[in-house]
Structure 1
């Protein structure tokens, strides 16, 4: 399958990549080969094949899911906080 330069430019923009001309050409070729490979996979009859939940036949042992409070008190949760205000953590401002 052929990939256009415009598609490569759009993907590079979405991925925040600045590509050289050589990189654009290489990505155009590589992406085309990947899509060719996917098209080939679509030809395989998988009607009677069960989906895999794990690549191994082994079953992963599961532990019982038990809800538990890690910290027993607010004081214990805040004891290693670099900065606190009463019962609250002080953290750097994220939004301006």
Structure 2
């Protein structure tokens, strides 16, 4: 027995504020009914002893260990900057009168 009826599709169209003609109602009724049937089939197969998964194969992070390295000096960090002042990157202001 079909759970999705043309009346239900029209009602959903009204709720979604979508104007549907008769051909669209007929097409959507069949499509939505197929979706509901497929969900019911999956629900029949799903059991409590089957663990839910997000991936079909086990996954693990491949990050390297976090090791403290030699940081850049302020001079090294600024050596290729187009402009600097007082040990900082100098950029054009984006707010204010210069717009």
State the TM-score, normalizing by the size of structure 2: 0.52
Where does residue 17 of structure 1 map in the other structure? 18
Structure with the larger RCO, 1 or 2 (CA within 8 Å, 6+ apart): 1
Q: How many residues get paired?
A: 70
Q: Which ranges of 4 or more aligned residues in structure 1 deviate by more than 3 Å?
A: 53-56
Q: Highest Rg: 1 or 2? A: 2
Instruction: Point out where structure 2 has 5 or more consecutive residues left out of the alignment.
Output: 64-92
Instruction: Point out where structure 1 has 5 or more consecutive residues left out of the alignment.
Output: 63-78, 85-96
Where does residue 42 of structure 1 map in the other structure? 43
Kindly report the root-mean-square deviation, in angstroms, between the aligned alpha carbons of the 2 structures: 3.1
